[in-house]
Structure 1
């Protein structure tokens, strides 16, 4: 008998359940210290802690412990119910796939053009970690289809699951052996140099492509693209520094950094984000648009791919720990990547509520590129491209900027 496929779950689900359980038990254990003032609070929390302690002076500790226990239990149950509902919820079919324009190894490029031979081409480069279809999530939430609707011809890179050919790839290989040939193919097919649009980590790959091949970069747009990896909170960097030896050993043993490890690292940036959103999902009408949107987005989040060993080292150690890009030390094919050498019209979009790419990190890229325009959005890293306000907040102004900029470039 064939084993049925595993039910979809937020990855790694064991980590999220452990966090909920630990929060429950630690909340009960800390109550006596909270009431008698013996907890050593951090300076920035001390004032709030003193106020809380004063409010608890006349509260019976046993009654309070019972209430905390009930609340923690309720949260764990709601999270579990949310996960169960997510796992068993019927799935809406994904949008019809765009036709394949180019393929090499695991990498393919999808053509979202409408058939207009004069449409201006856009090469869209997503991260290597998460699937590119976040930019074509549903019929209603698709940056690709919107750009096509305003007369552009978007080409989306789909990196795919690394195969035998990609196991020893580093970033130079992905840029020189995949992105450069694609840009040439687009030029040959359209007679125009494409604009380059990079999202998150894909923005750095896009920058390197534009730096190496300015003749294949009519314009540049960066969405939530990091540059100064030390511009945000220091704690994640210190944690990654401590983890670096273990990460290197894991890569040596496995040849790649597994998806669950990557997901755990992202979860550490906001540990309660997953549990909070699954509790909210447990209360949604399962037939609502919000529920369907939640399913589509979580399915994408849990559909990540491993980072092959050389890329994992270059990104996690070279970028995050050593901050090589901001220091001018990141090299592609032996040459440093210099944003100050970029001459193409450039737009840098910076989400203000991004906990994955802190605004300061993305702002550093705008500061480094001469004449770069910048647009701040009141959104998070994923919400900016797939949230309820993405069309009005990002799609429309981005499409307008690309159309105006490329028209001007083609007329010059």
Structure 2
């Protein structure tokens, strides 16, 4: 039996202590930061229940952005100098943002079909003529289903960090998310939603090391740098979550994650199978290489099923591609170039 090496053991212990100190320092620095988001929402051109369609102006083709139901919509309009939508409005596009809002009494009974075939389609009807539909993360799946249902309304589709094969990266982890849903039933019966804390716990299963790594990195940043400012803004957005209607939680977490219904061809909206191979319109697919929440191996199968796909794979993460310090070169400009090519 090999004798333990005391020097190696001390080095390992010191490394662990250093990592812990950096984690604590990063969290403390974030909590002490005085940043407050001061962006004002543009006017709404449509409202229903808790949802609004925000108009960012501009002179060009209408582009409707569909965010996730889990997080706030303003990640696409995060801060001064960090707003994809305000930047696009100055680049020959006319962006709109569908802000789903907080699930109220009505929305708590919604299924994905209610959101897609109901609220999303009625929001699109408020805009005259055809639109480009752009979905981010979970919103990409909602946009995909709507585009298949409304080919006469949706002229082109953008899928930004959109998952498809939920078992491609680590099927065991995805199944654990699905298997956790029965334990959440008591919580969901209380409020008819899956609360924010429960959602955060489930998504920690998907990326268990991500939280520690980002705060350790933040500990070493210059706190007045653009990168640090953007980090704090993005962390504030992540902390400002939204509960998920119970029927949506069962379908998305139990179905998409647990049973992989998307890649298995078993996900249906209002009875219609969501089959990307049926799309005849141009499709823009942005698949960030460093995405841990939606790994590239989950998003690539969706792009491969689409006939007329323009695919980019920027060296960015899930949120950084949308709102990071290099988002303009990673996503905004390539997306604007694609939009101009549609004309």
TM-score (norm 2): 0.93
| Structure 2 spans left out of the alignment, 5+ residues | none
**Partner SS state of residue 220, structure 1:** strand
Is the alpha carbon distance of 1:242 and 1:293 closer, same or farther for their aligned partners in structure 2, counting shifts above 3 Å?
A: same
Q: Mark the runs of 5 or more structure 1 residues left unpaired by the alignment.
A: 1-35, 38-56, 408-412
Q: Which has the larger radius of gyration?
A: 1
Q: How does 1:1-400 map to 2 (within 5 A)?
A: 59-60=5-6, 65-114=9-58, 116=59, 119-187=60-128, 192-400=129-337
Distance 1:222 1:76, change over 3 A: same
Taking a change above 3 Å as real, the CA distance of residues 246 and 148 of structure 1, as seen in their structure-2 partners, is: same
Q: Secondary structure at the match of 1:94?
A: coil
Cα deviation for residue 350 of structure 1 reads: 1.3
Number of positions where the alignment pairs a residue of Structure 1 with one of Structure 2:
343
Higher mean alpha-carbon deviation, 66-75 vs 268-277, is at 66-75
Return the offset for 1:280.
Answer: 2.7
The separation in 2 between residues aligned to 1:354 and 1:138, in whole angstroms, is 22
**How far apart, in 1, do the equivalents of 2:90 and 2:338 lie?**
14
Contact kept in structure 2, 1:94 and 1:137, CA below 8 Å: no
RMSD: 2.0
Post-superposition Cα deviations, 1:370-402, rounded to whole Å, max 9, x if no partner, equal 222222222221121112221012111101101
Partner of 1:403: 340
DSSP-derived class of the 1:377 partner: coil
The structure with the largest helix share of the pair is 1
Compared with structure 1, are the counterparts of its residues 339 and 293 closer, same or farther at alpha carbon in structure 2 (3 Å cutoff)? same
Contact 2:178–2:255 (Cα < 8 Å) also in 1? no
Residue 266 of structure 2 contacts residue 273 of structure 2 at CA under 8 Å; is this kept in 1? Answer: yes
Q: Which moved more, 1:165-174 or 1:140-149?
A: 140-149
Normalising by structure 1, we get a TM-score of 0.78
Secondary structure of the structure 2 residue equivalent to 1:186: coil
